[in-house]
């Protein structure tokens, strides 16, 4: 009978015991994993992380929306904008500024649909940037906004 208790005890401490196993933490380093995936243009990883409710898409003063805008990740920007915690106007509207500076037309279009985004921020610097780099479609969008 003692051997049965020993067997039961060893099974309870096995690494396969789901009740004792720790779960991985996708919020590691203030959701650094999300920002790293965006910066490395790993859209599929970003989408998986954003599905996890523990990941904050507005982490680090909305760094994810700025990073995705800078890199032209329109699908990621679209998903981020659907989350009410994300504010694309933070840091003086740098999400739009990055998109304009890099010629990311679809990202500019998505950002301009958000009422919090001010296309005239920073004394029309965005229009100046788009003109300077020759992004005529972005110039049109800014003029029409």
Q: Which domain holds residue 64?
A: 24-144
First to last CA, the chain: 80
Q: Is the pTM of this model over 0.85?
A: no
Given a cut of 70, whether residue 17 has pLDDT beyond it is: no
pLDDT of residue 79: 95
Decide: residue 125, CB within 10 A, 0-12 exposed, 13-18 middle, 19+ buried. middle
pLDDT digits (tens, 9 = 90+) for 105-117: 999 999 999 999 9
**125, part of any domain:** yes
Please tell me the total count of domains within the chain.
Answer: 1
**3, part of any domain:** no
**52, part of any domain:** yes
Cα→Cα distances 77→31, 32, 73, 120, Å: 17, 17, 6, 20
pLDDT digits (tens, 9 = 90+) for 23-36: 888 887 777 899 99
């Amino acid at each position: 009978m003692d051997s049965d208790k020993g067997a039961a005890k060893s099974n309870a401490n096995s690494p396969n015991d789901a009740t004792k196993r720790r779960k991985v933490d996708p919020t590691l380093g203030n959701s650094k994993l999300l920002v790293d995936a965006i910066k490395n243009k790993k859209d599929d990883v970003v989408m998986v992380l954003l599905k996890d409710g523990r990941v904050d898409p507005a982490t680090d003063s909305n760094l994810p929306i700025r990073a995705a805008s800078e890199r032209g990740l329109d699908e990621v920007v679209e998903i981020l904008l659907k989350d009410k915690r994300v504010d694309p106007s933070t840091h003086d509207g740098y999400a739009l500024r990055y998109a304009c500076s890099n010629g990311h037309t679809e990202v500019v279009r998505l950002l301009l649909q958000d009422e919090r985004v001010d296309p005239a921020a920073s004394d029309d610097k965005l229009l100046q940037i788009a003109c300077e780099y020759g992004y005529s479609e972005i110039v049109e969008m800014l003029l029409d906004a």
